[in-house]
Structure 1
Amino acid sequence: MDHKAVLARLPADTRAQLTETRDAPGLWHLASHLGAIIVIGALILARVPFWPVLMLPQGILLVFLFTLLHETVHDTPFRTRWLNRAAGLLCGALLFLPPVWFRWFHLAHHRHTQIPGKDPELAEPKPEALRGWLHHVSGLPVWTGHARTLIRNATGQGDAAYVPTARRTDLTREARRLLGLYACLLLLSLIAGSTALLWVWLIPLLLGQPFLRVYLLAEHGRCAFVANMLENSRTTFTNRLVRWLAWNMPYHAEHHSFPAVPFHQLPALHAHMAPHLAVTENGYRRFTAKYLSTLR
């Protein structure tokens, strides 16, 4: 069966329970995620013993805000609409990833998952050689891509096919505001003679990005180029800490099958769909080892 047939078997009351959005789970999760970032950032600024080591967990926490940004596209982390928008804006600003632009990009990815020529995630092919994998995992393509997107959008060249023509001015306005924000932060840091943002934000982002790249490769890497979400997306079984860090997105086949289900209900959805999952893996380390074994 494909994912549509599996979901069609769910009783109406079960579907209603699974898709019910609430503010409390998202607020608690966001508080713990941001709280960890603030605490570690404070320890870095306080120059506690071995403080440079803390920049790695700080970076991992920061880059995995991408999974929350990704969820806000679907308006599911919170019931209140403005909370979804505010969380998306915060995450996008921290990650140099314009959230309005990403919304259209990600919705196109969901509509055309793993369909060549239609899924925008396939515009950059997955690495097929070790050198390409190292380049991909380094995060350099991501940062250059984010910079290119911001500049193109700010100059009115955000003309991707998945963005409606009537909404392209939104991208220009958003990119200019973000660039203005970054310019202000740079100016204030220079005036104050402070390198705080360098140590608690920018360098940690660079250090954490490879971990996000490895994680994201597991979502669709080496999956079939078909429309069935049970075959084109991978669910990765992992520990509770990683599920917390990634806002339950390791349940990725489930998420793609039923994106209206909020993150806190994905374990429940998994219980219903587990017998039908076609592509799974036991941990990201195991997935990475298998992926590397296929490279030239």
Structure 2
Amino acid sequence: MNRIHKNLSAGRWNNFSLAEQLANVGSEAGRAINWRGKNAEFSNLAAERALELAELTISDPKNRRRLKELTRRSDLRGAFQSCGHLALLVITAAATWIFFAQRLWVGFALGLFAHGTVYSFLAGLATHELAHGTVFSTKWLNGLFVRFYSLISWFNFHDYRMSHTYHHLYTLHPRGDREVVLPTNPSLDLLFLLQLFTLNLVGTRSEPYSFPLVQNIGATVKLAFTGRYSKEWLEAVYADQPDAHRKSIRWARLILLFHLALIAASIVFRLWPLPLLVAFAPFIANWLRYFVGVPMHTGLRTNVTDFRLCVRSITLDPFTQFLYWRMNWHTEHHMFAAVPCYNLRNLYRAVAADLPKPRTLLGAWREMRQIWKKQQTEPGYQFETPLPGRKAEGGKKQDTLESSLGDLAPKDLE
């Protein structure tokens, strides 16, 4: 497994065809994950996906050149995205603190709500793009920001890199991807919504897109003190990676130490708003994160190799796109994961002829709710996304561009 995973990062795929590379990953990963067994179907799964992607080459050579341009990373644009998000956090935190100091409690509540809304997009969203290593052209800046944002949001980026590598290779194939397991309920339960608009304490067991306090802090404490994971999936992906497992444990301990120290300092120096603005902020006002995050895969097909059938793109207003790190262009991200988030809209324009039309946020939710309702009477039902009638007419040769996951794959898998 180590030899194959060494090739997952960008620029290390040059000696093999994509199908050969991913077939090898599928074969060796299949032996590493307990529940996958030695089924030949799983071993060939990644190769099938590679062949499916090969059908979606860009017909116009100019577009192929444009696509290569879109993979270029920019420190300036990366700084605008990363530091811009941080600036919003500072502004909302400062406003909330001022309202607290002035005892303007309505303003304090509104400020905390705004701060939590912005903060909610750090764990698994800002850290997602930074974990891919595609935000900055300077590599260490990606590493710096992913660690900083992960630390302040109770997020274990080591676990995420390990899991998310498989999510990209085997998207919505349950034996190879347990990061997202369908079907899921696009819940609008009133008690759950109450948590999303206040403090997301326990979330709901059927919904993986929320970020509940008890589940996440509990998982961090368990890993820090016992070295065990709360999810069987993580136990499995770390089964043959002891060095990576130790890094994950150390990071969990650092998260705990940081937040406990911050809470202690707030008590000693009477900085009462501080825990709310940092330690508990990831779990406050998760509403917008939930509403834009759920459409990524919910209600779509499992066990298919065509990303257009198992991933959904949506259109959003510019501000929400910014908070979401442009992951509303999610189909495009899965097809060409080496493209930085700030280039995904232009990527969509380059390949639009081969893609379904993006849904609106309201349209996506209406679609998901209808699918879920039908699945209650037809458990095996899966929605078939309408696809464009034409296919690209260019050659079917697959280059390294489509194969790259950025710098997502952990170095311990080398």
When the two structures are superposed, what TM-score results if normalisation uses the length of structure 2?
0.65
Pair 1:21–1:222, CA change in 2 (3 A): same
Which residue of the partner structure matches residue 14 of structure 1? 66
| Residue 223 (structure 2) aligned to one of 136, 153, 157 | 153
SS in structure 1 of the partner of residue 359 of structure 2: strand
- Aligned residue pairs total 295
Aligned-pair identity (%): 20
Equivalent in 180, 201, 207 of residue 122 of structure 1: 180
Deviation at 1:147, TM superposition (A): 2.5
| 1:240 Cα deviation from its structure 2 partner | 1.3
Q: 1:212: how far off?
A: 1.1
One-letter code aligned to 1:25? R
CA RMSD of aligned residues (A): 2.7
Do the aligned partners of residues 60 and 97 (structure 1) sit closer, same or farther apart at CA in structure 2, a change above 3 Å counting?
A: same
Aligned counterpart, 2:300: 223
Any stretches of 5+ residues in structure 2 without a counterpart?
1-50, 204-210, 377-414
Higher Cα Rg, which structure: 2
Residue 7 and residue 176 in structure 1: after superposition, are their counterparts in 2 closer, same or farther (change >3 A)? farther
Q: Deviations over 1:114-151 (max 9, x none)?
A: 11232122358512776599379844343333224313
Structure 1 runs not aligned, ≥5 long: none
> Aligned pair in 2 of structure 1 residues 31, 128: CA closer, same or farther (>3 Å)?
closer
Q: Is residue 2:307 matched to residue 1:255? A: no
For residues 145-171 of structure 1, the C-alpha deviation after alignment (integer angstroms, 9 at most, x for no partner) is: 322431343222245222352311111
Q: Quick check: 1:183 aligned with 2:263? A: no
- How big is the shift at 1:279? 6.7
The 5-angstrom pairing of residues 15-164 of structure 1 reads: 15-47=67-99, 50-66=107-123, 67-123=125-181, 125-127=183-185, 131=189, 134=192, 138=196, 139=200, 140-141=202-203, 142-143=211-212, 144-154=214-224, 155-158=226-229, 160-163=235-238, 164=240
What is the TM-score of this pair, normalised by structure 1? 0.89
Cα 1:232/1:193, change in 2 over 3 Å = same
Distance 1:286 1:201, change over 3 A: farther
Residue aligning to 1:209:
286
- Secondary structure (helix, strand or coil) at the match of 2:180 reads helix
1:24, CA displacement in angstroms? 0.8
Find the residue that maps to 2:284 and give its secondary structure. Answer: helix
Q: Which amino acid aligns with 2:118?
A: L
The answer to whether structure 1 residue 165 and structure 2 residue 241 are counterparts is yes
Q: Assess if the C-alpha contact under 8 Å between 2:136 and 2:142 holds in 1.
A: yes
Quote the Cα distance in structure 2 between the aligned partners of 1:131 and 1:101.
30
Question: How far is 1:204 from its partner?
Answer: 4.3
Deviation, structure 1 residue 258: 0.5
Residue 15 of structure 1: CA displacement? 3.4
More helix by share: 1
Change (3 A) 1:177 1:124: farther
Matched residue SS, 2:227: coil
Deviation of the 1:206 alpha carbon: 2.9
